[in-house]
Amino acid sequence: MLDILVKNVALWGSEGLCDLGIANGRFVSVSPGGASSAAALTLDAEGRMAVPGFVEPHIHLDKALISERAPVNRSGTLTEAIEILWELKRNYTVDEIADRASRVLARALENGVSRLRSHVDVDPIGGTRPAEGVIRARERFGDLIDIQIVAFPQEGIVKSPGTEALMREVMKLGVDVVGGMPFNEASPQDSRRHIEIVFDIAREFDADIDMHVDETDDPAARTLEVVAELTIANGWQGRVTAGHTCALAGYPRDYADHVIGRLHAANVNMIANPATNLMLQGRLDDYPKRRGVTQVKELLAAGVNVACGQDCVHDTFYPFGQNDPLEIAFLLCHASHMSQPAEILTVMDMVTGNGAKALRLPDFRVAVGGVADLVVLDAHDARGAFATRRPRRWVIRKGKLIAETQFETRRYFDIPAAR
């Protein structure tokens, strides 16, 4: 007997409807709609679309929900958001970081996120506590969600003595990925040295790299090209991710095309963060205002892998966010003018398969023998999913139903007849 039979489901990337049989945590059958098998639990998707779990490739769990006790970021800028955090980080405890992160992870599971990468601040202000707190949250959630943790030197490395040693320390504690923020240094030379140190640590721990790159309105920022250059020099192609890259949105066309070509050659993954960057970038501009979302369509056209992430959830940088990939995808459609049918399909890839590629996750698909992860949306196609962003109908993780949403709307009016 099957543990779960999901009937009449439209699999993302496939034609027609099918029935999915699940037993012992894996898919044991994928057959055309209408097949019947005995099952302990039968779910009729009624033609709804399903994906093999969403991927959240860029979030900050250590800072999530900190706005509940943080002063207001009155300028609304990235600089003030970082400054407000200094005092908060001095008073962090491992337990409260773990508790805040756990609340966000629970919401992520309800939204169908099964794989996630979180940056955690590493600097002499907070020490190792942000990493320890998120590691503790990861342990709590065990098999429910796969979590990668990135050592993120937000305060810089060269200009923040002690940070380099702390990054090595948290890698030994169980952090997975080496992060960076090279533009937050005092000079282009220091920015380059920052990137070199990141690669040194990555080689030492045989780790992937995921840096915040050129998260600035300044079109003179040039660290993205250096990242591509050193990726090739170190033989780290396919193992490097660049997040934000806001300055790329302001580059002259010829230089932007040059950098995008270098990114393709280096096989660098790119992460757009439309929610936070639409909120922060161009804050102090007169009109026309820069909006800071990277060149998504141009990167995709050049063959660069692009995903998109939540980034911030109720912190000093961004006052909203519910860690819902459908919400972020919806924002990206607007920010990057991706409204045509084929473009909408591409955006769904960005919160599923493209994110999995950036995190180098294997077997991200529904197939016989594969781990039974499935999210049945309350929509029949990608456009409908983005348009309504309704709660997920069912979330199945490793063969177990972990969340479902039922709806009942009572209408006490009739649609007026045509006159």
Catalytic residues: 215
What is the distance between the alpha carbons of residues 379 and 386, in angstroms, rounded to a whole number?
Answer: 9
Neighbours of 286 (CB within 10 A): 6
Q: Are strands 26-32 and 18-23 parallel, antiparallel or unpaired?
A: antiparallel
CA distances from residue 286 to 56, 186, 216, 335 in whole angstroms, order as listed: 33, 27, 16, 19
Q: Is cis: bond before 71, omega within 30 of 0?
A: no
Within 8 A by CB and 6+ apart from 265, the residues are 228, 232
What is the distance between the alpha carbons of residues 57 and 136, in angstroms, rounded to a whole number?
Answer: 19
What is the distance between the alpha carbons of residues 42 and 46, in angstroms, rounded to a whole number?
Answer: 12
Within 8 A by CB and 6+ apart from 199, the residues are 209, 230, 234, 236
Contact by Cβ (8 Å): 83, 93: no
> Helix 94-110 to helix 129-141 angle, to the nearest 10 degrees?
40
What is the distance between the alpha carbons of residues 416 and 419, in angstroms, rounded to a whole number?
Answer: 9
> Helix 163-173 to helix 129-141 angle, to the nearest 10 degrees?
20
